[in-house]
Amino acid sequence: MTTSTADLWHHYGRARATSDRAVPGTFYWNWGQNGGPGPEVLGELTGRCVGDLGAGTARHAAYLAVHHQPGRVVAIDASPAQHTMATDLYAHLAPRLRIVASDAVSHLQAMTGAYEVLYSVFGALDFTDPREVLPAAAAALKPGGRLVFATLAHYLSGAPAQPDAVAAGIPAKTPDGEATTMRRWVLQEHVWTKLLDEAGFTDITVDVLPATGGPRTADTLLVTAYHPS
């Protein structure tokens, strides 16, 4: 029986975690993770407090910890499996990299005004009600702070993104391999803009990063927004 507490991220990235333990040499936002803009979209990072919301195995966060000079990068993930893998791979990058097992919303709510930069690469912002996570992110940013996230521009099936702020059930697997679903917010550009505006963000921009080919590919929305200074 599937319970609501099954870790639906048990399998994600597991094979790679055994064969590729290196800190990545690149940081990309596009779905294919192989081109387009890179970490420069995050702005100045030196000495800054940076949070990755839904960091998975923390590869992006590890990249920033090694190739930039942030004060701290906090890799936040709610999945016990992802936290365990991230810790196994990159705990040695402490204290510049901090790996935290937490729901993004509760972490952000406990960290008022703590971050200069928050980002998500198909992470917590795709899988959490935006009316909860966006206001929490706004509150956790310092004035002038920046939120950047990569999210699907359409469903992987090719179906268009939602014209309203609603989630859809997408296929997932329990740790036992049983088929189930999880909620994913795949929203049109104007829906994200409205939700960010309602959460108090300003200077909102959305770029479309085109799919880069391959069998399972998709266009990406790269969204940037600022906490009012």
In angstroms, give the least distance from the CB of 150 to ligand SAM. Answer: 8
Residue whose CB is less far from ligand SAM, 143 or 214:
214
Which residues make beta-bridge pairs with 181?
171
Residue whose CB is less far from ligand SAM, 176 or 229:
176
In angstroms, give the least distance from the CB of 109 to ligand SAM. Answer: 12
Residues within the interface to ligand SAM (CB under 6 A): 9, 12, 54-56, 76-79, 82, 103-105, 121-124, 127-128
Residue whose CB is less far from ligand SAM, 79 or 188:
79
In angstroms, give the least distance from the CB of 106 to ligand SAM. Answer: 8
| Sequence-distant contacts of 199-205: CB under 8 A, at least 24 apart | 199/130, 199/131, 199/134, 199/135, 199/137, 199/138, 200/135, 200/138, 200/227, 200/228, 201/134, 201/138, 201/147, 201/225, 201/226, 201/227, 201/228, 202/226, 202/227, 202/228
In angstroms, give the least distance from the CB of 28 to ligand SAM. Answer: 10
